[in-house]
Structure 1
Amino acid sequence: MEYPIRPALARAVPTLPTGPNWHFEIKVDGHRMILRRTEDGVICYSRTGRTVTSHWMDLAVPAMQQLLPGTVLDGEAVIWNGGTIDFGAVQARAASSLDRARALAARLPASYAAFDVLAHPEHGGAAVAARPYTERRALLVEVLADVGPKIRHADTTDARVVGFVGPRRRPRRLALLPAGESRPRLSAPLDPVLAARLGALLADDPVEGEHLAAAGETYTALATELVVEVLAGTGRHGTLSVVRAR
């Protein structure tokens, strides 16, 4: 399966189809989103294939905690406000800056209305997408059975930036020194929007040479005061997932 996936889109028809083999879903007013759980974290794609993870971290975080790596879901990002779905709130979130998106998420957290599963590591991987809809629907119910309707918010902690991997203006990863650790480790791959923002913050910091990280990969060391926020629980025994700069 190639990423980003371009999902099949609905089209208007003058009359509803009839017959025993048709299935219907409730239409929700949100933004179509492919949610992909990777080995390193979660990537959220818009219907056009654009990576939008940074604006929807309140969906990405619980997905990383509750879905197996290799799971790909198709659905809709929605926001409940006063007991109804607020499409204007979804549009405002999608069009906002990263700081504004975080503030909006704290006030009106998003929900993910999943209506299809396109891949799952325990059921054939990407071959799931080629199965009949009835089989995928049954698998979706099974995959989400223990997730529940509530969003599980994650705590975060700080880590000091000591370097980067890749181009300085758009680093692929950061070399981080979390609290309580003595040897730098590399973060998960950065979302492109977040990478550009962090790159701008690191643009003028002095380079201190090349160093070896704990994973065996080299990084460019920097003398910087930059501190980033990472997901709690993704430290010593997991991947360091960067949320934002402090």
Structure 2
Amino acid sequence: MELPVMPPVKPMLAKSVKTIPPDMQYEAKWDGFRAVVHRDGDEIVIGSRTGKPLTRYFPELVAALAENLPGRCVVDGEIVVVHGGRLDFDRLSERIHPAESRVRTLAERTPASFVAFDLLALGDTSHLDTPLAERRALLAEALRAARPPVHLAPATTDRELALVWFDRYEGAGLDGVVAKPLDLPYRPDARLMFKIKHERTADVVVAGYRFHKSGPVVGSLLLGLYDDTGALQHVGVCAAFPMKRRAELVTELEPLRMDPADAHPWAAWTDAHAHESSRLPGAVSRWTGKKDLSWTALRPERVLEVAYDHMEGTRFRHTAQFRRWRPDRAAADCTYAQLDEPVGYDLSEVLSGDGTG
């Protein structure tokens, strides 16, 4: 492979802001695997956000990219899996599997798509220093004849339309909106773009914690919500605390500590079969590897208000953010019923670029 921009490349990143800034290019924020694709003739390398190759996990995309990308190019985008008209990150995560036979099976069962949104090189020319507006025009022309599962990400310079997308596209599983300055060059691994994500709040039960990797202070709080059957389901963690606060939390939560934890709602967490019927902390996966998944059980009595962006099935998609303790709330009232569910929106309409209807 001989390209003007060679792998590995860490993609350009975005920093969070509260509102959509004016006078920029706006795109939906995709909830998938960020990927930089290098193609030189028959050679295709799909690089992850960390620079490690993803190529072997998506054989169906390798074939599709060979059919739809220019013969020599470097393209930035997102690998996604669509299920039921919306993005499905859980099914996408399953695609990362060590067994070749499983990779082939999943490529047929849950095929992935590639959404392209930036151009780093075309032919013998690097476009790292080319302004975004020009890169977008070049990318649109390069993908003019592209067909699914390769897509050109819809983009606009109309802020009012971006506001519509921010509300409407959430129902298709999208994460928010990304704003990009029109004169922005491409700078790998630099946070020069802006992301505006949805934020909601929920009252959750604190049912345990894990120690921090640095020592005997709280690393993360384990959060739960009650389902329709009255079972407490593990929905995620809250983890961003100053080190002083991590130490204080150990003392503060000590009166709730359960040792032994036989009567805890998640006492069966070490039983692999129990994870099949309930959401429990400590599920072993290819992501966790040999990581210590043990945790300290707490009586599920304290209620915490957290901020979250969106749900992935029955759990928070990302780490929740601490807002405040809620001593005025009863743990039993912390149910899924309080969560705001966005109106559904078919992802095919997003990918078609029909965001105005």
Common fold: TM-score over 0.5? yes
- Highest Rg: 1 or 2? 2
- 1:4 paired with 2:8, answer yes
Counterpart code for 1:69: G
Bigger relative contact order, structure 1 or 2, given CA contacts below 8 A and separation 6+?
A: 2
Contact between 2:61 and 2:112, CA under 8 Å: does it hold in 1?
yes
Q: Paired residue for 2:131?
A: 132
Q: Paired residue for 1:141?
A: 140
- 1:17 paired with 2:16, answer no
The change in CA–CA distance for 1:26 and 1:96 in structure 2 (over 3 A counts) is farther
> How high is the TM-score relative to the length of structure 1?
0.56
Q: Paired residue for 2:56?
A: 54
Offset of residue 39 of structure 1: 2.9
Counterpart code for 2:13: L
Counterparts of 2:87 and 2:18 in 1: how far apart (Å)? Answer: 26
Q: Paired residue for 2:100?
A: 98
Q: Paired residue for 1:213?
A: none
Counterparts of 1:66 and 1:16 in 2: how far apart (Å)? Answer: 32
Partner SS state of residue 126, structure 2: helix
Query: Structure 2: any 5+ residue segments left out of the alignment?
Result: 151-357
Q: Paired residue for 2:76?
A: 74
Contact between 2:8 and 2:51, CA under 8 Å: does it hold in 1?
yes
Q: Paired residue for 2:40?
A: 38
Q: Paired residue for 1:194?
A: none
Counterparts of 2:99 and 2:16 in 1: how far apart (Å)? Answer: 33
Number of aligned positions between the proteins: 146
Offset of residue 11 of structure 1: 2.0
Partner SS state of residue 71, structure 1: strand
Counterparts of 1:50 and 1:119 in 2: how far apart (Å)? Answer: 19
Partner SS state of residue 14, structure 2: coil
- Higher strand fraction (1 or 2): 2
> How high is the TM-score relative to the length of structure 2?
0.39
Counterparts of 2:142 and 2:70 in 1: how far apart (Å)? Answer: 9
Offset of residue 9 of structure 1: 1.5
Counterparts of 1:149 and 1:2 in 2: how far apart (Å)? Answer: 26
Q: Which runs of 4+ in 1 moved over 4 A?
A: none
| Identity in percent | 37
Partner SS state of residue 24, structure 1: strand
Counterpart code for 1:57: P
Counterparts of 1:94 and 1:7 in 2: how far apart (Å)? Answer: 20
Offset of residue 28 of structure 1: 1.4
Contact between 2:7 and 2:38, CA under 8 Å: does it hold in 1?
no
Contact between 2:7 and 2:47, CA under 8 Å: does it hold in 1?
no
